[in-house]
Amino acid sequence: MSRELLPYDLAWSDVDPRTHPFDPAAALDVVRGLDAASRVPVRPFGRRSSDPDERREEYARLCSWSHTEGWDWARAMTADLIARYGPWSTGWRWAHDEGDLGGGPVGLWCCTLHSIGTPEETLERVAGALCEWREWLEYLARRFDAYPLDAPDAEDRRDTWERATHHLILQVLDRTGSGDAWYGHCRQVLTWFLTRWDVDRRTADALVEEAIGGRFASWTAPEGKLVHEVAEQLATSLEPDAEPPAAVERYRYTSAHLQSYLDE
């Protein structure tokens, strides 16, 4: 799957609401007018059976439809949304847990298997998920602005950085439900925060990777002490006299659920 249709590599400049206008009241009408809206696939009817082997076979059949016809349509819808709104819109299906993409903050869309219904139901879910994703981006923009990294006093600056990091980690935990690979979006949000305040993206990637250091895990909400340690380390690393970050390869997001599709 082309990563251009995925939200994992989005920079803050790609999603900053200040530079990407959006009217949520018009979203459903816009979605209805897209080319993919005229081609919503029909979900196969599930056959019921009391036989365990037949139930497994039926579920495999539905999953096969979801991962072929369903995913093809979702990719087409994403491409249409990008053409209309820009790359930020790729996050519309970044669902919680093991949804289509997994580990994301969107609850109104799960996956093609469970979220595709009648054409109108499906388009309403797409528009709702798009608005939910946008609302999250707008919330983050307000939080970023509330924690400026340009305070002149060094002590105040470090305190602001630490409080911001702590707050943002907790917000990502809440939005994602700390499900499958939630930490991928957490890394992204912290990097967005730093680049919002003019930290070079490569440096921001390295600082966040060093601060988290593989200490967050799927399906696990970190204890308060660990969140505090990560926030403290990131704040310390941003000080002007701190050691420069080690050269680390930029984190490449994959969830357990998505890996097989990325390899296609």
Tens of pLDDT, residues 49-96: 676 766 777 878 888 989 999 999 999 999 999 999 999 999 999 999
- Helix (H), strand (E), coil (C) string for the chain: CCHHHCCCCCCHHHHCHHHCCCCHHHHHHHHHCCHHHHHCCCCCCCCCCCCHHHHHHHHHHHHHHHHHHHHHHHHHHHHHHHHHHCHHHHHHHCECCCCCCCCCCECCCCCHHHHCCCHHHHHHHHHHHHHHHHHHHHHHHHHHHHCCCCCCCHHHHHHHHHHHHHHHHHHHHHHHCCCCCHHHHHHHHHHHHHHHCCCCHHHHHHHHHHHHCCCCCCCCCCCHHHHHHHHHHHHHHCCCCCCCCCCCCCCCCCCCCCHHHHCC
Please check the confidence at residue 247 and state whether its pLDDT lies above 70. Answer: no
Please check the confidence at residue 264 and state whether its pLDDT lies above 50. Answer: no
Over pLDDT 90: what percentage of the chain? 68
**Per-residue pLDDT tens digits for 201-218:** 999 999 999 999 889 999
pLDDT given for residue 58 in this prediction: 80
Please check the confidence at residue 251 and state whether its pLDDT lies above 50. Answer: no
- Look up the pTM and report it: 0.88
Higher pLDDT, 17 or 47: 17
pLDDT given for residue 195 in this prediction: 96
pLDDT given for residue 168 in this prediction: 97
